[in-house]
Amino acid sequence: MTTAFTVTTRVTPTGPVLEYSGELDVAGAPAALAAIEKLTVLPGQQLVMDMTGLLFCDSSGISTLIAARNVTLAADAGIALAAVPHQLSRSLDLIGLADFFTTYPTTADAHAAWGTGPPAGA
């Protein structure tokens, strides 16, 4: 049984947060991409992708993470992943993308780190 993918967007003082839940696969990727395309990320802000509710992520989902990173880089902004599930963390490591994203245990941790300025390389 699959769990439908949902994405919720909210705005914080440091930038937008995308909250993912369910299964980010070929069926959920279009919704994830649509949410990314609707984002307004300003220079100096940080997009946080909160994965607390994410149950599964395949290559289609990983492609959407890369698309989000491209949007933030084009906006002269940063990106962070929060609460990355172990399976996704392992997949990112195996395909050589572990250092492609800054990760934090929680969205609050990502916001706190950004409050001290962008991490090196962001």
What is the span of the domain harbouring residue 37? 6-115
Q: Per residue in 86-110, is it b (16+ CB within 10 Å) or e — as a string? A: eebeebbeeeeeeeebbbbeebeeb
User: Domain for residue 57, yes or no?
Assistant: yes
For position 34, which CATH number holds? Answer: 3.30.750.24
User: Domain for residue 94, yes or no?
Assistant: yes
pLDDT in tens, 12-47: 999 999 999 999 999 999 999 999 999 999 999 999
User: Domain for residue 70, yes or no?
Assistant: yes
Confidence tier at 3 by pLDDT (50, 70, 90): confident
User: Domain for residue 26, yes or no?
Assistant: yes
SS (H, E, C) the chain: CCCCCEEEEEEECCEEEEEEEEEECCCCHHHHHHHHHCCCCCCCCEEEEEEEEEEEECHHHHHHHHHHHHHHHHCCCEEEEECCCHHHHHHHHHCCCCCCCEEECCHHHHHHHHHCCCCCCC
pLDDT in tens, 104-119: 999 999 999 987 555 5
d(CA 44, CA 53): 27
d(CA 75, CA 42): 6
What's the pTM value of the predicted model, to 2 decimals?
0.91
User: Domain for residue 1, yes or no?
Assistant: no
User: Domain for residue 122, yes or no?
Assistant: no
User: Domain for residue 31, yes or no?
Assistant: yes
User: Domain for residue 27, yes or no?
Assistant: yes
CA-atom Rg of the chain in angstroms: 13
pLDDT in tens, 52-101: 999 999 999 999 999 999 999 999 999 999 999 999 999 999 999 999 99
